[in-house]
């Protein structure tokens, strides 16, 4: 195996059937694109609190903002009524503590 990898030798590629076959395979798309599954929400109960839509963070995107930029933007938090239909976010650390298995295709989550 080492000889095959390390030793150079001249190779002729003229009208080689194997090369054309491999080239045809390589040009086909190997990965099929799936449609966007959307938000992954589940009903969740933590002690006496019941959330109809708990949004599970699967870690696909992580957006960070430094504290200095956050302070310069001067965000204002308004006092507003609590809307229980707004989903809470169950992050990856929470999902890891419960050994969560997520099936995105079926929209199911199982805790072991």
User: Does residue 91 fall inside a structural domain?
Assistant: yes
- pTM for the model: 0.27
User: Does residue 35 fall inside a structural domain?
Assistant: no
Cα→Cα distances 70→17, 57, 75, 91, 96, Å: 61, 22, 8, 21, 29
User: Does residue 20 fall inside a structural domain?
Assistant: no
Domain count, the chain: 1
* Structural domain boundaries, residue 94: 41-111
User: Does residue 70 fall inside a structural domain?
Assistant: yes
User: Does residue 6 fall inside a structural domain?
Assistant: no
User: Does residue 66 fall inside a structural domain?
Assistant: yes
User: Does residue 5 fall inside a structural domain?
Assistant: no
pLDDT digits (tens, 9 = 90+) for 4-60: 667 777 666 565 565 555 555 555 566 677 776 677 777 777 778 777 777 776 666
Is residue 110 very low, low, confident or very high in pLDDT (cuts 50, 70, 90)? confident
pLDDT digits (tens, 9 = 90+) for 62-95: 566 777 777 777 777 677 777 777 666 666 666 6
């Amino acid at each position: 195996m080492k000889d095959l990898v390390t030793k150079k030798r001249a190779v002729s590629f003229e009208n080689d059937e194997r090369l054309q076959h491999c080239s045809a395979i390589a040009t086909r798309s190997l990965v099929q694109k799936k449609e966007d599954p959307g938000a992954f929400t589940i009903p969740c109960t933590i002690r006496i609190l019941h959330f109809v839509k708990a949004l599970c963070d699967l870690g696909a995107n992580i957006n960070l903002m430094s504290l200095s930029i956050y302070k310069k933007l001067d965000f204002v938090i308004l006092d507003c009524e609590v809307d229980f239909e707004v989903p809470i976010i169950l992050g990856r650390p929470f999902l890891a503590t419960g050994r969560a298995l997520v099936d995105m295709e079926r929209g199911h989550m199982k805790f072991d």
